[in-house]
Amino acid sequence: MPDAAGRRGRDIWIFHFTHAKVRPLIEQACSRMANVRALVFPPEGAPPPESMPNATSRPPLTPHRALLLTTVSRYLERARLQEVREGISELEIQKLAYFLQVLGAQLRLRFVRGTYGPYAPAMSRTLDALEGHHLTGIGDRSSRVTEFAPINPLPASVRRAEQVLAGQPAELHRLELLLDLVAGFETPYSLELLATVHFAAGHEPETADPEVLAERVAGWSLRKARMFTARHVAVAAGRLAERRLLPG
């Protein structure tokens, strides 16, 4: 028997089942029902993002999108020198976009205080638009953020993005500044730490004091208080200060 059966509308039935022998029985029974479309789903979760059909139109590679794709690609190259990586997480992409904007990129993103550090809702919509056309891995967003579902830019799109940026020396310089800033912080948690410390430093009153920053990070959430020690915050603050990205 199926786990559950429900009806949507007048002639579409949705079935969920837990035993492999159940599916053919359901399909056989439904085949004898006139004007009925049966959708039978095994309990396997969402299919891999790369296998999901995408009927949306291909968005053009604007200079800002080209900068984002190239940044993701270059960041992944460096991250893979440190450890085996299947791809980049959305959490990391959010933080890379955050620092691109801090360094002067006109991305027009509004970052707010999120669970995992600075977060821009519009960035998630941008990734949704690029999914299946210029990158893959977003899928149907059924994975939790902390599962770090791997996202990868498509090679052809990266090549095209690099061509677009070839005539943008200011953006290429900004990209190099970003890669220098995050060197050694190429993990989801490390980037979250670096971006969180920078965001906390900009709150009123602005501060570059590592002790005050540690208090602000700990007060951000219980999760951050447990994850990021005062020593971690001091290291991140030191990097930001070296790159003149802290107040004062």
The predicted-structure confidence for 62-117, as pLDDT tens digits, reads as follows 999 999 999 999 999 999 998 999 999 999 999 999 999 999 999 999 999 999 99
pLDDT of residue 129: 93
Asked if omega into 169 is within 30° of 0 (cis), the reply is: no
Which whole number is the average pLDDT over 224-248? 97
**What is the pLDDT, as a whole number, of residue 2?**
44
- Write the DSSP assignment of 53-120 as a string of letters: ---SPPPP--HHHHHHHHHHHHHHHHHHHHS--S-B-HHHHHHHHHHHHHTT-------EEETTEEE-
Q: What's phi and psi for 131, nearest 5 deg?
A: -60, 130
Full-prediction pTM beyond 0.75? Answer: yes
**3 state SS of 189:** helix
Q: Say if CB 41 and CB 21 are below 8 A apart.
A: no
Q: What is the pLDDT of residue 27?
A: 73
Report the chain's C-alpha Rg in angstroms. 23
Q: What is the per-residue pLDDT for 24? A: 75
Backbone angles phi, psi at 47, to 5 degrees: -70, 165
Instruction: List pLDDT tens digits, range 27-69.
Output: 777 777 777 666 666 655 545 545 555 557 888 999 999 999 9
- Looking only at the bridges linking them, the beta strands covering 12-16 and 37-41 are parallel
Question: Quick one: average pLDDT of 162-175?
Answer: 95
pLDDT digits (tens, 9 = 90+) for 172-210: 999 999 999 999 999 999 999 999 999 999 988 999 999
